[in-house]
Structure 1
Amino acid sequence: MLDQMLPTPVATRGALSNAASRFDPYTREVAMPDRPRTEVREEALGRAITRNSSPDLGFDRSINPYRGCEHGCIYCYARPSHAYLGLSPGLDFETKLIARPGAPEALARELRGKGYRPAVLAIGTNTDPYQPIERDRRIMRGLLEVLRDHRHPVAITTKGTLVERDIDILAEMGPELCRVGISVTTLDDALARKLEPRVPVPSRRLRAIARLAEAGVVVRVMVSPIIPGLTDHEVETILAAARDAGAQAASMIPLRLPLEVAPLFEEWLREHVPDRARKVLNRVREFHGGKLYDAGFGQRMRGRGVHADLLQARFHRACKQLGLAYKLPPLRSDLFERPGRAGDQLTLF
């Protein structure tokens, strides 16, 4: 596959192609203009919270304000989710977005339910809540207002510096109720522009870490994904830069290439770093038992083999030397309360 003719790159986008989803009975390629515009449609929803029982995740509930992500990260493991909408995990994922403006109201209804029991709610685990369209849509800010009013714990993952807009809410919630994870894949701004075409460059994300930390928000730097053979040599320098900016904790996940992500990433390698493409793919296979991806629990988030073990050892050693925590004190669920509403009966005691 490495010797096949490459598709034509699309300006300011990550994917080089737009193949039909795996559920489409026909194999086809949807033509795209040179500079495709971002299209956004709205989706009504009855419930905002999605539940999971994965042993690989440290949470059992999450919210996704948006489907698809304009950031366009070529390695994004969420790309295959667009196939469920009948859209391509390629360019469609970056250009045909779904907004859920009713998510804050739906969340408030769920939190008011008599049977609801609070636990950490994760936001940003699929697509980024602070992607560019959030600037106008403000769905994420609405969700945070609901969580603040209910004193509900939340863990946020993002690459978007728009998170700075909501520092007032995050600081008010404090370290007992919220923390933010900022993902930094590389410190090479030029490489980042190719990997993550519509994400603020890493140097700008480091400034966001500093601003959050200055406001008293607990920040975790997420060195994710680590691309073996391309960015793995940067682990220690990323951790040091984030620590210097004010991060208190760190985590890492090696590159994952589920389903349609694998061929999209191969195309990207052949276009942007052809001299390293074979090395990267061979190293990825070493991490996953000879395949480009192993979805097995306990392996997919870590990898296996000599190089995977060495990467883990380097990461933990650097965290220890820099004073970065791997685990943070748990967020508190016992502070949860349902705010009063107009018309509620007051208690006598």
Structure 2
Amino acid sequence: MPVKLIRIEKKGPALKRTQFGCLSDVHTLNVTRGCEFRCSYCYARGYSHSPAEGLVLLYSNLPGKIRSELDSPRRRTPVQHVAFNTASDSFQRHPDILKVTYDSMKQILDHGIRMSFLTKGWIPDRFIELFSSFPALVTAGIGLVSISPHYRQIFEPGAATAQERLANIERLRSAGIKPHVRIDPIIPFYTDDERGIRALFHELAKRGVEQVVLSYLHLRPAILKQLKRELPSTTYRLLAGCYKTQDVIEVGTSTKSILCPLILRQKGYDRFKRLAKDYGITCLICACKNPDMSGQRCLRPSPADNKIPGGPEQLSLFPC
């Protein structure tokens, strides 16, 4: 479905402080409401304030608001870290979205503030060049669940290809930035088989990835209707069957979610960890999305872990 972009003005604060999991005390901002990528599992599409199908709303005045808020003498809470586009994606394809994103990121970096992003998109060259001037301030995350084109066609039809995302890793590393990789959401019985995991780890290891963060798909009631509408019927029935006996619980502060059964997650994570050893990769379990089991906050333990041999040092925080 073609996406129509509508420019609107951001009325409230551009930078909002959050208190959820790994994002605690981090300021967040979203350049758009809605996203071109239209991932079938996207929780943000189920929000009551989400735009209608086929629409993306662009906050065209964000760069100016960011500058005003950061320069305001009345600001009481210092901004130390900004997480970009937690409910959308920084690198959607529309040139107007990319311009606002670039100008917003430049404002943050020019003020000497750390920033992070997680993307399933293609990062244009001008962003790589910008980040190369601030490698210690940029924490980059690449979302990649599978290298299968069939998976992308079904679950992430608008996102960048796996090869484009792998190229992002190479390009970021060449700019002095060691990106982390999130394998999230893992789709039970679809992207957690040994063959698929090995294929993914093989490609990541070739590009120097040493650590990944794992999390299985967790659903919200509104997303089930979305999946039923967009997935092939057989795929939907298999997926829905995994969750049908699960209760709706609170994840984080107030998010109502349906988790993949604990036994399936435990076996799946063990499979990922076992196979990862063959490729020199360490797996972390996202504690934010697995409240019923032992996990890790999505933090690197020390700045040294972010340092590329021969490259500039990076800071340690990377939120979900």
| TM-score, structure 1 normalization | 0.72
Aligned to 2:250: 295
Gaps of at least 5 residues in structure 1 are 1-12, 14-35, 334-349
Q: Which residue of 2 aligns with 1:191?
A: 151
Shift of 1:135: 5.5
How far apart are the structure 1 equivalents of 2:4 and 2:124? Answer: 21
Query: Does the Cα contact within 8 Å between 1:123 and 1:129 map onto a contact in 2?
Result: yes
Match of 2:206 among 229, 244, 249: 244
1:305 alignment partner in structure 2: 262
Report what 1:9 is aligned to: none
Contact kept, 8 Å, 1:45 with 1:102, in 2: the verdict is no
Q: 1:77 to 1:136 in 2, by over 3 A?
A: closer
Q: Is residue 67 from structure 1 mapped to residue 33 from structure 2 by the alignment? A: yes
One of 170, 190, 193 as aligned partner of 1:230: 190
Q: What are the ranges of 5 or more consecutive residues in structure 2 without an aligned counterpart?
A: 285-298, 304-313
Distance 2:143 2:211 in 1: 12
Residue 41 (structure 1) shift: 2.7
SS of equivalent residue, structure 2 residue 13: coil
Shift of 1:163: 4.5
Task: Give CA-to-partner distance per residue, 1:274-330, whole Å, 9 cap, x none.
Answer: 334333222234xxx624x54333995975521111222233444555344544236
CA distance in 1, matches of 2:97, 2:24: 31
Q: Partner of 1:173: helix, strand, or coil? A: coil
Report if aligned partners of 2:220, 2:257 keep a CA contact under 8 Å in 1: no
User: Separation in 1 of the partners of 2:5 and 2:164?
Assistant: 26
Q: 1:70 to 1:37 in 2, by over 3 A?
A: closer
Alignment partner of 1:180 is 2:140: yes
Q: Between Structure 1 and Structure 2, how many residues are aligned?
A: 284
1:208 matched to 2:163? The reply is: no
- How high is the sequence identity, in percent, across the aligned residues? 22
Amino acid at match of 1:172: S
Q: What is the distance in 2 between the residues matched to 1:122 and 1:222?
A: 15
1:43 aligned residue: 9
Structure 1 residue aligned with 2:58: 99
**2:246, 2:260 within 8 Å by CA — same for their partners in 1?**
no
Please state how far the C-alpha of 1:222 moved relative to its aligned partner.
1.1
1-structure distance, mates of 2:41, 2:200: 19
Question: Conserved in 2, the CA contact under 8 Å of 1:193 and 1:199?
Answer: no
SS of equivalent residue, structure 2 residue 49: helix
1:148 has 2:109 as partner = yes
Higher strand share: 2
Please give the root-mean-square deviation of Cα atoms over the aligned residues, in Å.
2.8
1:22-41 matched pairs, under 5 angstroms: 36-41=2-7
Q: Find the residue that maps to 2:68 and give its secondary structure.
A: helix
Distance 2:197 2:268 in 1: 9
